[in-house]
Structure formats: structure tokens, C-alpha cells
Amino acid sequence: MTSAITTVLFDADGVIQRGTQDWTARLYGMVEEGVGEEFITDLMRSERPAIAGKEDFRDAIADVLTRWNATATVSEAIEPWHWFAAEPVVVDLIQKLRRSGIQCHLATNQHAYRRDIMRDDRGYDDLFDQSFYSCDLGLAKPDPAYFRAILGATGVPASSVLFIDDIPANVEGARSIGIKAEVYDLANGTDALSELLRSYELPA
């Protein structure tokens, strides 16, 4: 595949980082038996406004805990959002791309609480040329406006950008404005990511 990719956008969860503990088991244990799945669904739904920068995630969690008469404190309930780690092989691939002159940016849906963990505790800003968190943009994938905001900030034409995400809807959102985009899931192994990058004639 011939291309002129100068910029690669990487999603975070499922592409460069993975969970390190069983967070579902922890959350299930916070409510009565038999309602864990519904409780987690409510938590994920409550996360959406915070991901778009419209609400504080700690406040959203507090509301969910009250709704479900959960035994956990907000600090206990939010702890699983710390349980992730970057995959070293993927980090190395990103740095190889950057050394070759390819701009690499983080393009991720995150609320401010988790952004601060990624930025301040894990040093993600050092891994990328720029980082685009949905909570900062006030826009979230798969909204095409999210990707337009990134193009505006970088000044790069859509045709020169490759976006990699594990969620097909996000990939389609990027493609809808002319960005080249591919589905990749870290669960499929890092060799698959190397092959994907090479298919765009990128060093991997």
C-alpha cells in the first residue's frame, strides 16, 4: 500500500495500554449480588459527560454509588481507573516512528481524572509529540469534530494521517473526514501492529 503518512494518531486503551487487574471483579463486589453488571453499565454511562469535559468524574461516581446503595467510597470505586500499563513493545514502536520523523500523537477519550494519571503519573506526554484528550477538546470519539479539532491543531492534511483504534466506530469517525484509519486491538499481539504500520510503508 503506497501512502504518504506523516502523522500517526494512537488510541490509548486497547492499543498502547492494557488493564493490569480484574477491575470488573472489584466493582461487582461493591453492590448486592446479581446487580453488578447493571452497576458497571451505569458507571460507564455516567463516565461519558466527564469524557467530553462536561462533568467531574468523581462527582459522577458519587452519584452512581448513591443510586446503587454501594458500600464503597468514591476513592475505592475510582481506583480501578489506575489499573493500566503501557505495552513496552508498542512504546518502542512509537519512538522508532518519531526518530524516523513521523509525528506521533495520542488521541484518546479520557476524563480529566484519568488524563492526569496518564500525564502526571505515567509520563505519557514524553511518549508523544502531542496529546489530545477528549476532556480537553470538549469532544469525544467517534464524533468527526474530534478529529477535525486534531487536524486543526496539527495543521496536517487528513490524507497524511493514520489513526489506530480498537473500536470500529471510532475508526469510521476518522475515515468520514478523510483520515486513513485502521482497527487494531492489543489483544491480537504487537506483531499485528508492526504489520499494520509496515502496510503504510512506515518503519516498524
Residue 165 and residue 141 in contact, taking contact as beta carbons nearer than 8 Å: yes
CATH value at residue 102: 3.40.50.1000
Per-residue pLDDT of the chain (204 residues; tens, 9 = 90+): 445 999 999 999 999 999 999 999 999 999 999 999 999 999 999 999 999 999 999 999 999 999 999 989 999 999 999 999 999 999 999 999 999 999 999 999 999 999 999 999 999 999 999 999 999 999 999 999 999 999 999 999 999 999 999 999 999 999 999 999 999 999 999 999 999 999 999 998
Do 54 and 154 belong to one domain?
no
Sign (positive or negative) of CA dihedral 111, 113, 168, 203: positive
Do 67 and 102 belong to one domain?
no
Do 155 and 177 belong to one domain?
yes
Do 55 and 129 belong to one domain?
no
Do 33 and 133 belong to one domain?
no
Q: How far is C-alpha 127 from the chain's CA centre?
A: 14
Do 62 and 137 belong to one domain?
no
Residue type, 159: S
pLDDT score, position 1: 42
Tell whether 1 is covered by a domain.
no
Do 43 and 116 belong to one domain?
no
Strand pairing category for 84-86 and 17-19:
antiparallel
Residue 198 and residue 44 in contact, taking contact as beta carbons nearer than 8 Å: no
Do 27 and 95 belong to one domain?
no
Do 61 and 102 belong to one domain?
no
Tell whether 2 is covered by a domain.
no
Domain count, the chain: 2
pTM for the full predicted model: 0.94
Show the domain range for 117.
Answer: 7-19+85-199
DSSP, res 127: G
pLDDT score, position 204: 87
Do 109 and 193 belong to one domain?
yes
